[in-house]
Amino acid sequence: MTILDGKKISEDIKNEIANEVDKMKAKGEKVPHLAAILVGNDGASLTYVGSKVKACERVGFESTLVKMPHTTSELELLNKIKELNEDDNIDGFIVQLPLPPQIDTQKVLLTVDPSKDVDGFHPENFGKMALDMSTFIPATPFGILELLQRYNVDTKGKHTVVIGRSHIVGRPMSILMSRKGWPGNSTVTLTHSNTKNIAQITTQADIIISALGVPNFLKAEMVKDDVVIIDVGITRVEDPNSPKGYKITGDVDFENVSKKSSFITPVPGGVGPMTIAMLLKNTLLAREQRRAH
């Protein structure tokens, strides 16, 4: 059994990006600039955005954090997005989700300039991804592809079962795993909360990508031997023995499922670190595209 070590691979990717940035600096070129808009003060969002800003420093990017109060109106946020769209100094930006209830998330995502949408959430980028055209792939799916690639996991002709159909992970993974090329060329079954007899489907899977958000949902009896497991779930579970009072748990019963797996991602330290690394990679791509135009 091989652990798909997202922590290690994400460090490799950050080193590669830092080298690219050094080359840009040596040529006197502008370095990539990533901005993030954070509305409100949701604890998890603050942590995520904080680590994105740190990661930018680590690779030599410029970064800007735009903080807006949770009382921000939809119009104020849309105006801020238009400002970033028009700012030539900014190569890519993200709007940290979830947004407060008074703001329509779809409207916000539609307002982001697709050429700066390094999260890959704009319908134009999502559509290009579905049509196999070059575009920004959402950071978490992009990170999963990169892990499969760097560990040489064979996906051709394999049966991939995706659990969860969110627009951020499940749906894009089902599209990407069935595309021509590698990682891809697999036969995909997309399962979700209304799927009947899910264990019957998962026991036939060669590769399982779980993005459900239900701790320890996938049990050893639900998988076959030598399965490849990608666990995208990340849930805080109360744990009196932990100094923090909780532990981070994935969708997969790691202890038992890992005994039957050929490859498996740990939680934490699997898919999570890859997401930020690929956001940086998308920002580097955005910078290169802007330079080419």
Interval 68-101: pLDDT, tens: 999 999 999 999 999 999 999 999 999 999 999 9
CA 178 to chain centre: 18
Q: Please confirm, yes or no, whether 219 is among the known catalytic residues.
A: no
| Average pLDDT for 126-147 | 97
Confidence grade of residue 293 (pLDDT, cut at 50, 70, 90): confident
User: What's 139-272's CATH class?
Assistant: alpha beta
**Average of per-residue pLDDT across 120-132:** 96
119 is catalytic: yes
* In the predicted structure, residue 43 carries a pLDDT above the cut 90: no
Using a pLDDT cut of 90, give the percent of the chain over it. 96
What is the residue-averaged pLDDT of the chain?
96
Of residues 285 and 44, more confidence is placed in 285
Q: Which of 5, 14, 52, 281 is catalytic?
A: 52
pLDDT tens digits, one per residue of 162-221: 999 999 999 999 999 999 999 999 999 999 999 999 999 999 999 999 999 999 999 999
Q: Is position 262 annotated in a ligand binding site?
A: no
- What's the distance, CA 284 to chain centroid? 16
Assess whether 204 carries a catalytic annotation.
no
Q: What is the pLDDT of residue 42?
A: 87
The stretch 124-148 carries a mean pLDDT of 97
Query: Choosing from 5, 96, 251, 253, which is the catalytic residue?
Result: 96
Q: In what order do the strands lie in the sheet with 33-39?
A: 62-68, 33-39, 92-95
Is residue 282 scored above 90 in pLDDT?
Answer: yes
- pLDDT over 90 (residue 54): yes
Annotated binding residue 51: no
Mean pLDDT, residues 230-259: 95
Q: What single DSSP character describes residue 260?
A: G
CATH 3.40.50.10860-classified regions of the chain: 28-113
Residue 33 confidence class, pLDDT cut points 50, 70, 90: very high
Domain with CATH 3.40.50.720 in the chain: 139-272
User: Could you tell me the pLDDT band of residue 44, with boundaries at 50, 70 and 90?
Assistant: confident
Q: Which of 86, 45, 48 has the alpha carbon at shortest distance from 68? A: 45
Residue 278 has pLDDT above 90, yes or no: yes
Does residue 166 have a known ligand-binding role?
Answer: yes
Instruction: List, in order, residues 6 or more apart from 45 with CB less than 8 Å away.
Output: 38, 96, 97, 98
- Assess contact for 61 and 67: CB atoms under 8 A: no
The verdict on whether residue 150 carries a ligand-binding annotation is no
Q: What is the pLDDT of residue 269?
A: 96
CATH of domain 28-113: 3.40.50.10860
In angstroms, the CA 135 to CA 77 distance is 25
Q: Annotated catalytic residue: which of 5, 91, 117, 119?
A: 119
For residues 15 and 42, which has the higher predicted lDDT (pLDDT)?
15
| pTM of the full structure | 0.95
